[in-house]
Amino acid sequence: MKKRLVLAVASGLLTAAAHPPVGAWPLAWVALIPLLFSLEGARARDGFIIGLVSGFVFFVADVYWVVNSMYYYGGVPLWISVPVMCLLAALLACYIGFFGLFVSAASGMPQTARLVAIPAAWTSLEFLRAHVFTGFPWSLLGYTLSDRLVLVQVVDITGIWGLSFLIVMVNCAAFLVIDAFVSKGRRGRRFVPITGALVTAALVVIVVVYGMVRIAQVDNDAAAWRKLRVAATQGSIDQSKKWDAAFRAETIDIYRELTRLAAQDGARLIVWPETAVPFFLGADKAETAAVTSAAKDAGRYILTGSPAYTYNPGTRQTRLYNSAWLIDPSGDMAGRYDKIHLVPYGEYVPMRRFLPFLTKLTAGIGDFSEGPGPLPIGFEGGGIGVLICYEAIFPEIAAAQVRNGAEILVNITNDAWFGRSSAPYQHMGMSAVRAVENRTWLVRSANTGISAFVDPAGRIVKKTALFEKAVITADVGLRSGPQTFYTRFTDVFAYLAMALFAGFVFALLRRKKARRPAL
């Protein structure tokens, strides 16, 4: 068991290194091989433990920044924040544990079946992780290829799930070939694994060729789109000052100056980050005028994040929203989007009275309510699909925005909570894939970075550094023409993987039942 656990730990570390900020993406193609060897011939119970250990190592290395957020910005002591991070890592690792259970149980399955079953299992469990208990699809395996332009193009059909499936399939094919050469019992039975490896290699080639063709097609189509000059601002407001009323005027002055610079550079639409306005627009006339006059003075549209609220006098109930407001060049409010996927323990606190120490993480805001749906903000006859903060890691939200008429995606976020950690790089990489899935430009405005422009082929055209005051501008195309397969049908590939996985699980259960001695 000790050797198996060593291999599991190695696999977790290799997988973590394949993700940003290390970004050693070639490791993704081999990172699971040690885990697969550790699971070969293991009992199902041991398989779960092996997978759990590998997953725990990966997630501790991947989401360690939770400690930064809680300790440095939430004021939560280390003796609480470190165990909370470890608990989160352990919960997420359970998905890898179930993967290990399945792989170990499937050791006796025909090799051709395993070549499909193992990727289907991994993809299905990633999809479940993205949806169970509000979902947390952070650092899915496919995101290791987010900046590999030729490979990432296939997501306009399969979504990110297709890349995860392909990576695991390559790992599985390599494992089966190596196992056929090093395992005494399998020497001489190498035809099937070698054939499987060749089929897998052919599939990779198909994905590469598809990517090369699609990049040329997308570039050609996008060249004909109507152009809009857009600016993304980055105020780099310190989180300790952000919700302090004493610094409100200073914060708005910073964004007014960035707006002036953006207007000088010809921007028609100027984007401010999530909650760049640290108060309720419309609640105070003088404070609101300081924001709306920025649009009026520049003669430009401003899209800004700001908290919002509604009050029902009948029930005396106030609802708070994390919102994006569009202000037109005359200084009037032209539209609003309310965030629909809230961050647990970030924007609302389940069991707040039992966990009072987490209140600091939502200082100045309180509990948010969900908005009515992924509805684009109307803009000059088209629509802006807004993704607030980590909504950008949920591909179905971006797809729904484009289905509902968005011509451009805009991600506004405040990643100051992450500090100088790997999280801003991970968040940026995941957000960029939304542009490719839906073949639309993505504009990203982040309080402390990374702000960027991503074209429909996934190229990061411009970007900022972390923790700098900056404004960047670009001419972006407003998408037109047919929607992508992924936009229209969203996660159909993931559902197919889950159907395959369910079928293999059913087959294993039947085989186990058939082996039981009759009474």
What residues act catalytically?
274, 339, 389
How many other C-beta atoms lie within 10 A of the C-beta of residue 459?
16
Name the nearest CA neighbour of 258 among 408, 468, 461. Answer: 468
Determine the Cα–Cα distance for residues 411 and 274; give it in Å rounded to an integer. 9
- CA 114 to chain centroid: 28
8 Å CB contact between 30 and 171 = yes
The answer to whether residues 504 and 106 touch, using CB atoms and an 8 Å cutoff, is yes
β-pairing verdict for 470-478 and 269-271: unpaired
Phi then psi for residue 374, to 5 deg, are -75, 75
Q: What is d(CA 197, CA 177) in angstroms, rounded to the nearest whole number?
A: 7
Helix or strand run (H / E) with residue 56: helix 44-62
In angstroms, the CA 130 to CA 146 distance is 18
Cis peptide preceding 80, ω within 30 of 0 = no
Please tell me whether the peptide bond between 313 and the residue prior to it is cis, using omega within 30 degrees of 0.
no
Contact 215/458 with Cβ under 8 angstroms?
no
102 with 505: CB under 8 angstroms? yes
- State the DSSP H helix or E strand holding residue 452, giving kind and residue range, or none if neither: strand 452-454
Secondary structure string (H, E, C) spanning 87-98: HHHHHHHHHHHH
> What does residue 455 show for φ and ψ, rounded to 5 degrees?
-85, 170
Angle at 424 between CA 421 and CA 427, to 5 degrees: 135
User: Which strands, in side-by-side order, build the sheet including 377-379?
Assistant: 377-379, 382-388, 408-413, 442-446, 452-454, 460-463
Neighbours of 202 (CB within 10 A): 10
Quick one: which of 127, 103, 126 has its CA closest to 116? Answer: 103
